[in-house]
Amino acid sequence: MALDQEFVGLAPRAEALVFAAARGDHAHNVIRPALQQGACVVLDRYLDSSVVYQGIARGLGEADVEGLSMWATGNLVPDLVIVLDLDPRIGLSRVARPDRLEAESIEFHDAVRAGFLARAQVNPQRYRVIDASVGVADVAVQVAAVVDSVLDD
């Protein structure tokens, strides 16, 4: 939807609002009910993505976008954020049909990477950074080990 090329030129604040609204709805209708039933919920993107993509890379302000995302999700914060760290030039070379965000400039993607790494450095209890330049099987083993360690706590 909002990642489709037809939304190229979407104003940064509108982009932040669209993602916050979608995330808030997902948190209310999917994530919270699953957690209430005792499920372990795994997502490929959550509020940290908006904080980094819109707050940092789009320049809207980390605190403002985080506040919006927290409000939209009812302060639902993940116990764990896994950052798969990879030079954006390598990652983007693997994308066959880039979506609207993947089609952004390399400077944008460098800012996204730096933003995630900075957040991970500030909050190492919640973030784990995995070197994604190694093979897929090695990344999978590392992710499984991190998840297992958190579930064992």
Partnered with residue 97 across adjacent β-strands are none
DSSP designation for 5: G
Q: Burial of 146 by CB count in 10 Å (0-12 exposed, 13-18 middle, 19+ buried)?
A: middle
List the CATH number of the domain containing 73: 3.40.50.300
Please state, rounded to an integer, the average pLDDT across all residues of the chain. Answer: 91
Q: How far apart are CA 74 and CA 70, in angstroms?
A: 6
100-120 tens-digit pLDDT:
888 889 999 999 999 999 999
- What tokens appear for 149 in the block? 């360690």
Q: How far apart are CA 63 and CA 84, in angstroms?
A: 23
**Residue-number span of the structural domain to which 105 is assigned:** 5-152
Number of domains observed in the structure of the chain: 1
Q: How far apart are CA 146 and CA 10, in angstroms?
A: 36
* Residue 16 amino acid letter: A
pTM of the model: 0.90
- The pLDDT value recorded for residue 119 is 97
Partnered with residue 81 across adjacent β-strands are 127
